[in-house]
Amino acid sequence: MQQTAILALEDGSVFQGRAYGARTVRTGEVVFNTSLTGYQEVFTDPSYSGQIVILTNPQIGNYGTNADDDEAARAWIEGLIVREWSEVPSNWRSSETADAFLARQGVPVVSELDTRAIVRKLRSGGVLRGALSTAGHSPADLVEIAKNSPSMAGLDLATRVSTAESYRWTEPAKPCSPSERIHNAAPGRFHVVAFDYGIKRNILRRLATVGCHLTVVPAGTTAEDVLALKPDGVFLSNGPGDPEPLEFQAAQIRKLIGRTPIFGICLGHQILGLALGGKTFKLKFGHRGINHPVLNRRTGKVEITVQNHGFCVDPDSFKDSEVELTHINLNDQTVEGLRHRSQPLFCVQYHPEAAPGPHDSQYLFDDFAAMMREFAGA
127 vs 86: CA distance, rounded Å: 27
Q: Are strands 323-329 and 335-340 parallel, antiparallel or unpaired?
A: antiparallel
Q: 351 an active-site residue?
A: yes
Q: 269 an active-site residue?
A: no
Question: From residue 215, how far is each of 156, 168, 207, 212, 240 by CA, in Å?
Answer: 23, 5, 11, 10, 21
318 in helix, strand or coil? Answer: coil
Omega of the bond leading into 344 within 30 degrees of 0 (cis): no
Q: 353 an active-site residue?
A: yes
Among 266, 269, 292, 327, the active-site one is: 266
> Is the CB of residue 313 less than 8 Å from the CB of residue 275?
no
Among 269, 287, 327, 351, the active-site one is: 351
233 vs 339: CA distance, rounded Å: 15
| Helix, strand, coil distribution of the chain in percent, nearest 5 | 25, 30, 45
Q: How many alpha carbons fall within 13 Å on the CB side of residue 150?
A: 12
Q: Which residues pair with 110 in a beta bridge?
A: 19, 81
Among 41, 71, 303, 353, the active-site one is: 353
Q: Which residues are catalytic?
A: 266, 351, 353
